[in-house]
Amino acid sequence: MPLLDIKNLTLEIDTGTQVIKALDKINLTVNSGEIRALVGESGSGKSLIVQAISGATPPNWTITADRMSWNGNNLLSMSEQQRRQILRKDIGVVFQHAIASLDPSVTLGEQLEESLPEQLIEGSWFWQRAQSRRKEVIRTVHKVGIKDHEQYLQAYPHQIPTDIGQKLMLAMALISQPKMLIADDPTRGMETTTKVQVLKLLSRLNQTRSLGILFVSHDLLAIASMSHSMTVLYCGQTVESGKMKQIRKRPLHPYTKALLDSAPSFSKDLPPKSLLPTLPGTIPTLQHLPIGCRLGPRCPRAQRACVNVPSVRKIHDHAYSCHFPLHREKV
Amino acid sequence: MTRILFRYFVLFTLTLLALCALSFSLIYLFPAEPVTTLTGITPQNLIQHEALINQYHLNSNILVQFGDYLSELFAGNWGVSLISGQPLSKEIMLALPATIELSACAMFIVVVIGIPLGCYSGLRAYSNADFTINSISVTLYSVPVFWLAVIFILTFSLQFGWLPLSGRVNLLFDIPHQTGFLFIDILLADNLDKSAALSDAFLHLILPTLSIALMSTASMIRITRRSIIDVLNKPFIIAAKSKGLSSRQIFVRHVLRNALLPILPLMAMQITTLITNAMIVETLFSWPGIGNWLIQAIYQRDYSALRMGMLAVSTLVVMITIAIDLFNRLIDPSREKFESVTI
């Protein structure tokens, strides 16, 4: 059974003047011990998915889904109390803007201690518990690659550099020893060596503790090496999902192909000084979404049928939604 | 730390100096003879005139005069009242505590009622409870203070006769003046039915306090509500929710402190409004405070009293403003410690 199973997740945002369908029938599963990459351009709704799963949604959002379950329990119908328990014990979330996601008036050490669930603290007296809490915090901070814990645990969020903030967010998510980690661009803007450290840490946790990871990023190079499966998102629609290897070898959706081609290291036989292949145009804003397949206006293979939303088709566990996929001849 | 304190001290001194210069310039700006406005004594003959001019160095350079003025101020010689002939320092020391007492009680009500109500309505933003609280506070905010005070007098004193009409305490109680704060004076006094005096003083306090507190409470509710709503939309609240903290934990640990920090400087501004309103209300309730005293001085063209009253009230306001700002600086971790000091 998958850890996280989402089917046809739709998110509508009421802006007051109109209702925007920001996410349109998203399908996503994360199995235990699997690293699932969620990729897409900025504005494709990756962070919205993260926020919808973590349950902290503004009042003007409406979330509907055919299925959104954690370990077989429906996340949408359970009480707030139960959902909070699951988030506390089983799911760790790393948000995209690390510094903004830290409370500016509380020291980082306190914020870390607060994320530590009660059952992981040893001792029965309060001083023993305080000591155990502190030990656990320092251990986790070291694990994510911050050596100077004395300095940073005392600091306030505005006093630390961004990459330390990102690592602390990661520590905060990992300290509760969750079964699944949702990481929204945890390596954003890091320099390569630090990035590699973080990625190594994540894949090690995945192997040793069979931590399921939903890795949200647009950094294809980082993801390709470590993740087992991939879901490609375009403009709030799932475009293609399947095993990483299969998708890399033979993408079925024109968008996935364009995405892979635009990363130079994936296309080996690229002659020097040649133009990098890209799709024309840019991702549309949420206010001006095209009907049907949202890639339509930019798609090289688009035809009249594309004004209807394509249904999900499957070849084994490789799912795609396209009327004219790449393995069929152009009609 | 010492550096911050030093900076605030410098700011305070400079502001005071500017205020002193303003009050000094009033000596020449008032439509009376400088000797009279400075000392409060109207010279009866030329010899006395000459003597006063010599005593206060009024013939020398203006800077020397100012220096002399400052040293007299700090020595406690603030001149005498033109009308009553009493030393101004004594009169101000009698009147100022009454105003402080009134404003402090009003501020207490503002904080105790305004902040919790504001938090409640911020947390339940855009619900019916929120709309109710908000519309009541907007209505109260729009009511003029002097009108409200008169309505209070009409209703509660004249119509129902529940509360006393004017003054600080019934004249039957003979309370010796010690600190100027009535409640402390009552507790210090002997040969007095203390509980009767206290309850009487309390009854006298209710109407004037309410009439100035209501408007400030209304604005405090709205400031707090806005601040809470702003904080609730911050990403770190989303992060806290995704950590699985309960709403109570989130409110106590993350919302409250971040919402109250920006309110503090606004509170300092509220205090000045409060003191201004207190001065208006004092006149209506014949409260023997500095506002009432100043208005009397204006009626009687008591120039020396006006000059010193202005200085005393503005010093009080500057002191409170700087103290609150310093306090805010000390407890707000996100403000850079060496950022320059401003009000």
Please tell me the distance in Å from A225's CA to the nearest CA on chain B. Answer: 28
Of residues A54, A114, A117, nearest to B242 (C-beta): A54
Cα separation, B132 vs B124, whole angstroms:
11
Asked if B235 and B319 sit in the same domain, the reply is: no
Residue B83 lies in a domain: no
* A window 245-284, beta carbon within 8 A of B: none
Q: Would you state the pLDDT for residue A268?
A: 65
Residues of A in contact with B260 (CB under 8 A): none
Residues of B in contact with A78 (CB under 8 A): none
Give the H/E segment covering residue A319.
Answer: strand A318-320
Please tell me the distance in Å from A78's CA to the nearest CA on chain B. Answer: 14
Q: Would you state the pLDDT for residue A329?
A: 67
Q: A94, A97, A105, A112: best mutation site toward chain B, by most B Cβ within 10 Å?
A: A105
Residues of B in contact with A180 (CB under 8 A): none
What domains appear along chain A, each with residue ranges and CATH number?
Answer: 4-90+178-267+276-320 (3.40.50.300)
Residues of A in contact with B235 (CB under 8 A): 95, 97, 100-101
Of residues B233, B241, B333, nearest to A105 (C-beta): B333
Say if A180 is an interface residue toward chain B (CB within 8 Å): no
Residue B86 lies in a domain: no
Asked if B97 and B54 sit in the same domain, the reply is: no
Q: Residue B14 above 90 pLDDT?
A: yes
User: Which residue ranges in chain A fall short of pLDDT 50?
Assistant: none
Residues of A in contact with B124 (CB under 8 A): none
Asked if B25 and B116 sit in the same domain, the reply is: no
Give the H/E segment covering residue A113.
Answer: helix A108-115
Residue B51 lies in a domain: yes
**Residue A77, token pair as written in the block:** 């119908």
Asked if B110 and B153 sit in the same domain, the reply is: yes
The pLDDT of B144-156, averaged and rounded, is 91
Which chain B residue has its CA at the smallest distance from A86's CA?
B244
- Where residue B340 falls among pLDDT bands split at 50, 70, 90? low
Residue B108 lies in a domain: yes
Contact B257, A105 (CB under 8 A): yes
Which chain A residue has its CA at the smallest distance from B261's CA?
A105
- Where residue B209 falls among pLDDT bands split at 50, 70, 90? very high
Q: Would you state the pLDDT for residue B147?
A: 92
What is the residue-averaged pLDDT of chain B? 85
Asked if B312 and B175 sit in the same domain, the reply is: no
Contact B242 A93 (CB under 8 A): yes
Please tell me the distance in Å from A222's CA to the nearest CA on chain B. Answer: 25
Say if B258 is an interface residue toward chain A (CB within 8 Å): yes
Asked if B281 and B257 sit in the same domain, the reply is: yes
Of residues B243, B254, B333, nearest to A88 (C-beta): B243
Q: What is the pLDDT of residues A214-266, one digit of tens each?
A: 988 877 777 888 888 988 888 888 888 888 888 888 888 888 888 887 776 66
Give the H/E segment covering residue A167.
Answer: helix A162-174
Say if A150 is an interface residue toward chain B (CB within 8 Å): no
Q: Would you state the pLDDT for residue A127?
A: 85
Asked if B290 and B338 sit in the same domain, the reply is: no
Contact B241 A56 (CB under 8 A): yes
> pLDDT exceeding 90 applies to what percent of chain B?
23
In angstroms, the Cα distances linking B89 to B92, B94, B96, B336, B339 are 5, 9, 10, 40, 38
A-B contacts at Cβ under 8 angstroms: 76
Asked if B333 and B206 sit in the same domain, the reply is: no
| DSSP for A213-252, written as a single string | EEEEES-HHHHHHH-SEEEEEETTEEEEEEEHHHHHH---
Q: Would you state the pLDDT for residue B138?
A: 93
Q: Would you state the pLDDT for residue A98?
A: 84
Asked if B254 and B233 sit in the same domain, the reply is: yes
Residue B67 lies in a domain: yes
Asked if B149 and B248 sit in the same domain, the reply is: yes
Q: Would you state the pLDDT for residue B336?
A: 60
Looking at the 3D structure of chain B, how many domains does it have? 2
Q: Would you state the pLDDT for residue A267?
A: 62
Q: Would you state the pLDDT for residue B133?
A: 93
Cα separation, B108 vs B210, whole angstroms:
11
Domain that holds residue B109: 92-296
Asked if B117 and B264 sit in the same domain, the reply is: yes
Q: For position B177, which CATH number holds? A: 1.10.3720.10
Say if B237 is an interface residue toward chain A (CB within 8 Å): yes
Residue B84 lies in a domain: no
Q: Would you state the pLDDT for residue B85?
A: 80
Comparing B187-196, B257-266, B283-292, which segment has the lowest mean pLDDT? B187-196
Does the interface predicted TM-score (ipTM) exceed 0.85? no
Residue B317 lies in a domain: yes
Asked if B279 and B177 sit in the same domain, the reply is: yes
- Where residue B339 falls among pLDDT bands split at 50, 70, 90? low
Q: What is the pLDDT of residues B232-243, one digit of tens each?
A: 888 888 888 888
Residue B201 lies in a domain: yes
Say if B127 is an interface residue toward chain A (CB within 8 Å): no
Instruction: Kindly report the three-state secondary structure assignment for every residue of chain B.
Output: CHHHHHHHHHHHHHHHHHHHHHHHHHHHHCCCCHHHHHHCCCCCCHHHHHHHHHHCCCCCCHHHHHHHHHHHHHHCCCCECCCCCCEHHHHHHHHHHHHHHHHHHHHHHHHHHHHHHHHHHHHCCCCHHHHHHHHHHHHHHHCCHHHHHHHHHHHHHHHCCCCCCCCCCCCCCCCCCCCCCHHHHHHHCCCCCHHHHHHHHHHHHHHHHHHHHHHHHHHHHHHHHHHHHHHHCCHHHHHHHHCCCCHHHHHHHHHHHHHHHHHHHHHHHHHHHHHHHHHHHHHHHCCCCHHHHHHHHHHCCCHHHHHHHHHHHHHHHHHHHHHHHHHHHHHCCCCCCCCCCCC
